[in-house]
Amino acid sequence: MDVISVIRTKRDRGRLSDEQIDWVVDAYTRGAVADEQMSSLAMAILLNGMDRAEIARWTAAMIDSGERMDFSSLSRPTADKHSTGGVGDKITLPLAPLVAACGAAVPQLSGRGLGHTGGTLDKLESVPGWRASLSNEEMLAVLDDAGAVICAAGDGLAPADKKLYALRDVTGTVESIPLIASSIMSKKIAEGTGSLVLDVKVGSGAFMKSLEDARELAATMVGLGTDHGVRTVALLTDMSVPLGLTAGNALEVRESVEVLAGGGPADVVDLTLALAREMLAAAGLPDADPAKALADGSAMDVWRRMIRAQGGDPDAVLPTARERQVIVAPATGVLTALDAYKVGVAAWRLGAGRARKEDSVQAGAGVEWHARPGQRVQEGAPLLTLHTDTPEKFPYATEALEGAFTVDPAAAAFDPAPIVLDRIA
């Protein structure tokens, strides 16, 4: 085997053999294939695709690059959730403790930001003292104590994906359906959860821009999970408008705590509850009431135990950016559009995301919007607030926001469209 032959096969629209897939995934994990060579192969896969058998083999090779976890010692059924990435998508933060408060164990392995989309671990690391990296023993201990854990995949879990995940972020190959599906499912299957709910985003702020592509990705992942004995269901959810009222790290943690306290934006609450019901049903707890667990404070109690168990201080003041810039409404009227992708790029440019895989992120950076599509705004009133520690980034962020919103003086206020678009099981 040699990597040039593997690259050429996929470049020329050929089908990779099982032997080629097994070899190249293993060789890249060992360092025998260089980043630039795997970048070339990833781009060829993005452009030319993979068939169902190739994706299944690629996923199996990613799983086999490391260990598998076992949660059979837990007294609760396990349920996990994964989002394909969006703007303002802080759902994991309130969702994991909410589902745990209803009786399931939630071993939530999460990732960092990819491109214009935020990363759950980056968000939680804005909580003083909180640790993303846990050993398998520590992860089990947090699950026993709190019922939920949100952490990074350990070095032994699908190490091939850990390397490739970071590489895709900086080489323009994030949007490949085979690579998205195998990345997500290799970690989730190796993690050992009994059931999995997928939140597949659709729209300008998602990697899947059309319902057709989103359904293809969802069906691919549901098939991979089912084939490996994991009860898997997918919801297709709207990401044409960013979720909630913030995109950033500490900004989104603050908003998530508001949801756990019984408040927060309606769209974040609605999606959190929809996913919680799916997770509880998949875990064999269909009669549990997540709305009650939000209202009575039990989900907040789990959040506080979970944060403390991972070294964080749930009472600490969250970081804020040193500099702010306000963009005002250009007219009085109804906000008819707010483009999720452009908002995500602006947050990324302000420091909430990475341009290179070794970059750090700013805890306080991001974008806050003061109205959602369908609501009336007043000329000159704040519409967006940009947050960053590095004010020289403001011009690049405002450039990204050109055409991101529309205020129509003649439009009537309207209710938001349903956030859940379809369900695939």
End-to-end CA distance of the chain: 38
Q: What is the DSSP letter of 351?
A: I
Q: Give exposure, 201-226, as e/b (b: 16+ Cβ within 10 Å).
A: bbbbbbbbbeeebbbebbebbbbbbe
Closest CA to 391 of 327, 307, 325, 328: 325
CA atoms within 13 A on the CB side of 246: 21
Residues whose CB is less than 8 angstroms from the CB of residue 282 and which lie 6 or more positions away in sequence, other chains included: 79, 195, 196, 197, 231, 232, 233
214 vs 135: CA distance, rounded Å? 34
Residues whose CB is less than 8 angstroms from the CB of residue 278 and which lie 6 or more positions away in sequence, other chains included: 197, 233, 235
113 vs 129: CA distance, rounded Å? 20
Q: Which is catalytic among the residues 22, 89, 161, 267?
A: 161
Q: Which is catalytic among the residues 39, 183, 186, 256?
A: 183
Closest CA to 235 of 221, 252, 253, 255: 221
Report phi then psi at 316, rounded to 5: -70, 150
Strand 195-202 and strand 405-408: the pairing is unpaired
Reduce the DSSP state of residue 90 to 3 states and report it.
coil
Q: Which is catalytic among the residues 90, 112, 168, 387?
A: 168
Both structure tokens of 47 = 């452009």
214 vs 177: CA distance, rounded Å? 9
Q: Which is catalytic among the residues 82, 112, 342, 393?
A: 82
Is 161 one of the annotated active-site residues of the chain? yes
Q: Give exposure, 59-85, as e/b (b: 16+ Cβ within 10 Å).
A: bbbbbbbbbebebeebebbbbbbbbbb
Which H or E run contains 36?
A: helix 35-48
Q: Which is catalytic among the residues 116, 123, 162, 187?
A: 187
To the nearest 10°, the Cα dihedral for 361, 365, 367, 368?
A: 130
Is 82 one of the annotated active-site residues of the chain? yes
Is 168 one of the annotated active-site residues of the chain? yes
Catalytic residues: 82, 161, 168, 183, 187
